[in-house]
């Protein structure tokens, strides 16, 4: 599951115009990170605004991120309640100083942020606030929820384009054969972009003058 989640996250960032590097793509780094750590390094290819993005990062604010080290801990079976966060210090390891040394080497000393990808935060406002506070206290700069990533992928994938990526091709086929057509009622986007239609043409007969009204 971790490999599938990592692949989806990587495709998501690449569709949003980021260059991505996973931590096993370079031989010298393999022995310096956990064997199954689903981590990647991002470099934005666009000009970045100086505005500060939100802690719970929505896809539309990705242009505000210049560089980032990303850890994928989706854990799709549950939400990230405060009790789950407190019981799993492994969530914070990628933001520790010893782990960030590798990111500094990758980015050649240039500034970067940390992004944790998780399944979902709690719905309850109080539990969500507590979960966010715990994550911020652990030196994590941003988090992203997996539903937002999937929504953005489905929005950007076209049903009419063949993709070389197996994951994007799978999403494309789901759209092509309308297995996700009912999502329009549940998600804040249309399955396909809405096209502008011209006003309908209605042919009418010319109006004859009323002879009875003449003197």
Overall size of the chain counted in residues? 215
- Look up the pTM and report it: 0.78
Which range of residues forms the domain containing residue 167? 159-194
Residue 209's pLDDT band, with cuts at 50, 70 and 90, is low
For residues 148 and 89, membership in a common domain is answered with: yes
Work out how many domains the chain is built from and give that number: 2
Whether 151 and 163 map to the same domain: the answer is: no
Look up residue 48 and give its DSSP letter: P
Give me the residue label for tokens 């590798």: 102
pLDDT tens for each residue of 193-204:
444 444 444 455
Beta bridge partners of 44: 18
> Which residue, 100, 114, 123, 102, is CA-closest to 143?
114
176 and 81 in one domain? no
157-190 pLDDT, tens digit each: 999 999 999 999 999 999 999 888 654 434 444 4
The tens digit of pLDDT for each residue in 10-22 reads 999 999 999 999 8
Plot region of 193 (φ>0 → left; ψ -120 to 50 → alpha; else → beta): beta
Q: Give the model confidence (pLDDT) of 117-158 as tens digits.
A: 999 999 999 999 999 999 999 999 999 999 999 999 999 999
pLDDT at 48: 87
Q: Are residues 70 and 9 in the same domain?
A: yes
């Amino acid at each position: 599951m971790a490999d599938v989640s990592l692949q989806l996250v990587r495709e998501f960032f690449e569709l949003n115009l980021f260059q991505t590097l996973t931590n096993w793509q370079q031989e010298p780094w393999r022995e310096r990170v956990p064997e199954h750590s689903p981590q990647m390094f991002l470099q934005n290819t666009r000009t970045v605004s100086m505005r500060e993005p939100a802690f719970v990062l929505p896809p539309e604010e990705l242009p505000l991120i210049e560089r980032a080290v990303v850890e994928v801990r989706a854990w799709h079976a549950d939400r990230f309640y405060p009790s789950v966060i407190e019981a799993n210090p492994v969530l914070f390891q990628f933001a520790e100083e010893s782990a960030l040394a590798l990111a500094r080497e990758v980015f050649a000393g240039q500034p970067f942020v940390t992004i944790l990808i998780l399944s979902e935060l709690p719905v309850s406002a109080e539990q969500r606030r507590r979960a966010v506070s715990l994550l911020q206290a652990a030196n994590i700069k941003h988090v992203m929820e997996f539903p937002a990533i999937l929504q953005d992928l489905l929005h950007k994938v076209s049903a009419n384009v063949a993709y070389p990526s197996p994951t994007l091709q799978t999403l494309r086929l789901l759209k092509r054969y309308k297995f996700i057509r009912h999502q329009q009622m549940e998600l804040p986007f249309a399955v396909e972009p809405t096209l502008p239609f011209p006003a309908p043409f209605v042919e009418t007969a010319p109006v004859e003058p009323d002879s009875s009204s003449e003197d």
